Amino acid sequence: SQLRPKTVVIQHIPKEEVTDDKGRLRLDVTGEGTAEVFRDGEVIEGTWTKEDRTARTRFYDQDGNEIEFGRGQVWVTVVPEGFSVEWSQEEEATSEDEITNSEQSAESY
């Protein structure tokens, strides 16, 4: 079974300080920044805002309209400044393709 979130969000944030000798970063997800929202086969480029630690993060399109998330899984990935994200659009497999690929996987065991 494949994981298939309905919406994926890339939330770009400022890079913060290294907090320990293992190189872990302290990331601040309050404030504002840019974002990409992948939903219904399209990419919506926009921004995000979050007033404080307990506030809800809100995402907006380039016209300033809040982006609404429909029912289903929403995955938010936080990406610090200085890191890049690349994506490409692939055709979705049909049910027949998925069955064929599952059968081939089972045969290889």
pLDDT in tens, 29-79: 999 999 999 998 899 999 999 999 999 999 999 999 999 998 889 999 999
Percent of the chain's residues with pLDDT above 90 = 47
CA separation for the pair 15, 28 (Å, rounded): 8
Average pLDDT over residues 10-34: 86
- Please give the pLDDT value at position 4: 80
Question: Global pTM?
Answer: 0.72
Whether 73 and 103 have beta carbons less than 8 Å apart is answered as no
Whether 79 and 9 have beta carbons less than 8 Å apart is answered as no
Summary mean pLDDT of the chain = 81
